[in-house]
């Protein structure tokens, strides 16, 4: 299935909100999903070399569950949402943290820190459909850098669960086959340097790796 759009969700795990907060006012959980987008050319399959962006100094990894939409849907209720999922995998929302902090301080959009080339590495999809053994509320998220565990989360800790996200997005956009949803990252995000090998995965979808150059 050809990718159509990349929806991304920010601030979807309490512990991740805490680790990035620099003031008490930033600890409040969002009342509704925080949505931004990346361009489709940002996608990078496993095994490709990731090049450090030519601007920014702090490239951070954010490992996430990624959902593939399989058919068109509009105005969906949460109980319908699961039947619109075609696949599940893990991906990385790479972020230039220093650039993001500067943009936040000025109230500016996030494209420069989130939507640069190769900012959306993505694993191979495990099919999801009727009878699937994947529990959307229990998907492990593991991320290692050079073999050291950095992130060890689970979709059960999402503020807005996967079906809620699908319903929310479908009431603002007509979801299309090939749409991807990066569902937010748990705590443990951190820096990547030239020469690092980053691996994400779990027992269900497998493991996927990239090397930073």
Q: What's the confidence (pLDDT) of residue 130?
A: 83
Mean pLDDT of 85-90: 98
Percent over 70 (pLDDT), the chain: 98
Mean pLDDT in residue range 125-131: 92
Question: Does residue 92 have a pLDDT over 80?
Answer: yes
Average pLDDT over residues 79-104: 97
Name all domains of the chain by residue range, CATH numbers in brackets: 6-23+32-212 (3.90.850.10)
How does pLDDT run across 154-189, given as a tens digit for each residue? 999 999 999 999 999 999 999 999 999 999 999 999
pLDDT at 29: 87
> Average pLDDT, stretch 13-34?
85
pLDDT the model gives residue 1: 86
Asked if residue 25 has pLDDT above 70, the reply is no
Predicted TM-score (pTM) of the model is: 0.97
pLDDT band at 24 (very low <50, low <70, confident <90, very high): low
What average pLDDT is seen over the chain? 96
User: What is the pLDDT, as a whole number, of residue 27?
Assistant: 74
The average pLDDT across 51-77 equals: 97
**Mean pLDDT score, 65-71:** 98
120-121 vs 148-154, strand pairing mode: unpaired
Residue 126 exposed, middle or buried by CB count within 10 Å (0-12, 13-18, 19+): middle
Nearest to 83 by CA among 95, 99, 96, 70: 70
Q: Which of 189, 142, 175, 166 is nearest to 19 (CA)?
A: 189
Per-residue pLDDT at 191 exceeds 80: yes
């Amino acid at each position: 299935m050809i990718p159509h759009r990349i929806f991304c969700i920010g601030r979807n795990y309490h512990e991740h909100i805490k680790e990035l907060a620099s003031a008490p006012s930033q600890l409040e959980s969002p009342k509704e999903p925080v949505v931004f987008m990346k361009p489709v050319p940002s996608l990078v399959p496993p095994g490709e070399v990731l090049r450090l962006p030519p601007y920014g100094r702090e490239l951070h990894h954010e490992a996430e569950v990624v959902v593939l939409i399989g058919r068109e849907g509009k105005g969906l209720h949460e109980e319908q949402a699961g039947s619109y999922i075609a696949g599940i995998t893990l991906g990385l929302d790479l972020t230039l943290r220093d650039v993001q902090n500067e943009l936040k301080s000025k109230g500016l959009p996030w494209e420069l820190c989130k939507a640069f080339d190769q900012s959306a590495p993505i694993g191979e999809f495990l099919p999801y459909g009727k009878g699937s053994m994947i529990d959307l509320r229990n998907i492990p998220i593991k991320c290692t850098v050079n073999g050291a565990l950095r992130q060890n989360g689970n979709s059960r800790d999402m503020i807005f669960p996967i079906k809620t996200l699908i319903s929310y997005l479908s009431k603002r956009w007509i979801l299309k086959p090939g749409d991807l949803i990066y569902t937010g990252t748990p705590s443990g995000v951190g820096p990547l340097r030239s020469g690092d090998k980053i691996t994400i995965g779990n027992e269900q979808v497998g493991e996927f790796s990239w090397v930073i150059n």
